[in-house]
Amino acid sequence: MKARYYAGAAALALFAGLAHADGHQPFAVGEGDFNWDSYNEFAEKYDLSGQTVEITGPWTGDEKAKVDKAFSYFTSATGATVNYSGSDSFEQDIVISARSGSAPNLAVFPQPGLAADMASQGLLTPLPEGTADWVRDNYAAGQSWVDLGTYADENGEDQMYGLFYRVDVKSLVWYSPEAFDEAGYDIPETMEELKELTDLIVEEGGTPWCIGLGSGAATGWPATDWVEEMMLRTQSPEDYDAWVANEMKFDDPKVIAAIEEFGAFARNDDYVDGGASAVANTDFRDSPAGLFAIPPDCYMHRQASFIPAFFPEGTVVGEDVDFFYFPAYAEKDLGKPVLGAGTLFAITNPSDAAMAFVEFLKTPIAHELWMAQGGFLTAHAGVNPETYLEDSLKAQGEILLNATTFRFDASDLMPGEIGAGAFWTGMVDYTTGASAEDVAKGIQERWDTIQ
């Protein structure tokens, strides 16, 4: 476990030690493990001196600083200036600017839903012809990324508008390597093995899982992730998409079965720290604490890549805690689906420099330049994994590259009244004793009122 933590040290040293002559670029061209060939090939194609690319998106603060550094290499390659402006109110700002005819060249969307809405209003420009084929060939689970970036235009015709750049992974199970080693537990590679391990831990007197749904006004959302994971592991990607679009109703037997798959873990007193009654009342930020108790109060915690922010101070990922892929059923032959989120680029005001920037985003170097600064994952299969700053990110990157299907968080794609409302509260009701059938029916009835 410790070896994996230190593998990113070369990228860290490179980031700390290299400085470009202009003081802004952290990596000297030609140095390190970056794919500089892709940079040089791109630079040879473009001379955009005097042109400017205006970009807006949700990245602010430290994230803006990182993206500014990465995008500065577009400037050094082409001569064009890149102006990126981040906003906490991006979703409102981009709609206003697009409708008023003052949109920037490119926009970075944190969710496909808004991009799809703008495409249907004629406020986005389709990506260049051939982009979909390129994504299929160069992104892991490439068709998934094509699907997530394809929306109906104002005439109802499907076009590819979105190119995904930064990705987040949710399909992770966190655990204590020391606790697993002491108990002699192996990392499960299938859902069948995960369920066997869950039962084994109970048989040996332990508690397998920490689960908490509390999140203030947003209480219940962690359960929606569980249900989404189970939909991807019990049904086809097409069924998942139909569910998100309300073409498959929430009270369909397939959805009810996925809810009950979550319940098999969360509603079993033997499986959950504090018993099933504690699940809805435990804050999600506090729920992984049991992993660090001695002896552990629980052995596993399913949560997204951000959860280390709520681990005890000083916790080292890769030593004190680690993660594995939340596995799929071997018997269902649905591959290795991954649930997550991500940001996509779309063209809001086309220009030659904007089109060139889209081509820049296709190069491995455009991804590696943020990978080496930390806080970035990509599905681009052409990147060098050794450029990840941290080994935990490298391992998550491997999960992405091994994915056969990637799907966006369903609740984020559903109407707000459902995904950030009825779905949340319904999962709390289910966890505290309501039937999956009644909960699913109630959510669908709510959805029917907003159609």
What angle do helix axes 36-45 and 61-78 make, rounded to 10 degrees? 60
Measured at the CA of 38, the angle between CA 37 and CA 43, to 5 degrees, comes to: 95
288 within 8 A of 210, measured Cβ to Cβ:
yes
Kindly indicate the confidence band of residue 11, based on its pLDDT and cuts at 50, 70 and 90. very low
Q: Select from 205, 136, 190 the least CA-distant residue to 380.
A: 136
Query: Are residue 324 and residue 293 in the same domain, yes or no?
Result: yes
Task: Tell me how far CA of residue 121 lies from CA of 100, 117, 178, 392, in angstroms.
Answer: 13, 7, 54, 40
Kindly indicate the confidence band of residue 16, based on its pLDDT and cuts at 50, 70 and 90. very low
pLDDT at 253 exceeding the cut of 50: yes
Query: Are residue 61 and residue 99 in the same domain, yes or no?
Result: yes
Q: Could you tell me the end-to-end alpha-carbon distance of the chain, in angstroms, rounded to an integer?
A: 50
Query: Are residue 145 and residue 258 in the same domain, yes or no?
Result: no
Which tens digits make up the pLDDT trace of 309-334?
999 999 999 999 999 999 999 999 99
- The Cβ of residue 203 has, within 10 Å, a number of other Cβ atoms equal to 9
Query: Are residue 305 and residue 443 in the same domain, yes or no?
Result: yes
Instruction: Determine what percent of the chain is predicted with pLDDT higher than 70.
Output: 95
User: What pLDDT score was predicted for residue 17?
Assistant: 37
Q: Select from 410, 442, 345 the least CA-distant residue to 71.
A: 345
Cα dihedral sign for 26, 32, 34, 35? Answer: positive
What angle do helix axes 423-431 and 436-448 make, rounded to 10 degrees? 160
User: b/e for 163-173, b at 16 or more Cβ within 10 A?
Assistant: bbbbbbbbbbb
pLDDT at 300 exceeding the cut of 70: yes
Rounded Cα distance, 111 and 173, in Å: 24
Query: Are residue 270 and residue 294 in the same domain, yes or no?
Result: yes
Residue 36 or 22, more confident: 36
What angle do helix axes 112-120 and 90-99 make, rounded to 10 degrees? 10
pLDDT at 1 exceeding the cut of 90: no
Return mean pLDDT, the chain.
Answer: 94
Rounded Cα distance, 337 and 327, in Å: 8
Query: Are residue 112 and residue 224 in the same domain, yes or no?
Result: no
What angle do helix axes 423-431 and 221-234 make, rounded to 10 degrees? 90
Kindly indicate the confidence band of residue 6, based on its pLDDT and cuts at 50, 70 and 90. very low
Rounded Cα distance, 177 and 187, in Å: 10
pLDDT at 20 exceeding the cut of 50: no
What residue type is assigned to position 211 of the chain? I
Query: Are residue 237 and residue 346 in the same domain, yes or no?
Result: no
282 within 8 A of 274, measured Cβ to Cβ:
yes
Domain CATH code at residue 176? 3.40.190.10
Rounded Cα distance, 402 and 184, in Å: 26
Which tens digits make up the pLDDT trace of 47-87?
999 999 999 999 999 999 999 999 999 999 999 999 999 99
Query: Are residue 286 and residue 416 in the same domain, yes or no?
Result: yes
What 3-state DSSP class applies to 246? Answer: coil
Q: How many CA atoms lie within 13 A of 136 on its CB side?
A: 8
387 within 8 A of 368, measured Cβ to Cβ:
yes
Which tens digits make up the pLDDT trace of 178-237?
999 999 999 999 999 999 999 999 999 999 999 999 999 999 999 999 999 999 999 999
User: What pLDDT score was predicted for residue 451?
Assistant: 66
Rounded Cα distance, 433 and 322, in Å: 32
Cα-trace Rg, the chain: 23
| pLDDT average, residue stretch 397-424 | 97
Rounded Cα distance, 322 and 187, in Å: 11
Which tens digits make up the pLDDT trace of 352-380?
999 999 999 999 999 999 999 999 999 99
262 within 8 A of 276, measured Cβ to Cβ:
no
For 322, phi then psi, to 5°, come to: -150, -175
114 within 8 A of 133, measured Cβ to Cβ:
no
User: What pLDDT score was predicted for residue 205?
Assistant: 98
Query: Are residue 221 and residue 345 in the same domain, yes or no?
Result: no
Query: Are residue 373 and residue 254 in the same domain, yes or no?
Result: no
Q: How many domains does the chain have?
A: 2
Rounded Cα distance, 81 and 408, in Å: 32
**Number of helical H runs and strand E runs in the chain:** 20, 11
pLDDT at 9 exceeding the cut of 60: no
pLDDT at 2 exceeding the cut of 90: no
Which tens digits make up the pLDDT trace of 109-153?
998 999 999 999 999 999 999 999 999 999 999 999 999 999 999
| pLDDT average, residue stretch 276-295 | 97
Query: Are residue 132 and residue 255 in the same domain, yes or no?
Result: no
Domain enclosing residue 163, as ranges: 2-169+341-408
Q: Select from 62, 61, 74, 59 the least CA-distant residue to 25.
A: 74
Task: Give the tokens for residue 50.
Answer: 């005097």
Task: Tell me how far CA of residue 206 lies from CA of 193, 284, 323, 426, in angstroms.
Answer: 17, 21, 19, 29
Rounded Cα distance, 435 and 47, in Å: 63
User: What pLDDT score was predicted for residue 24?
Assistant: 73
Query: Are residue 357 and residue 299 in the same domain, yes or no?
Result: no
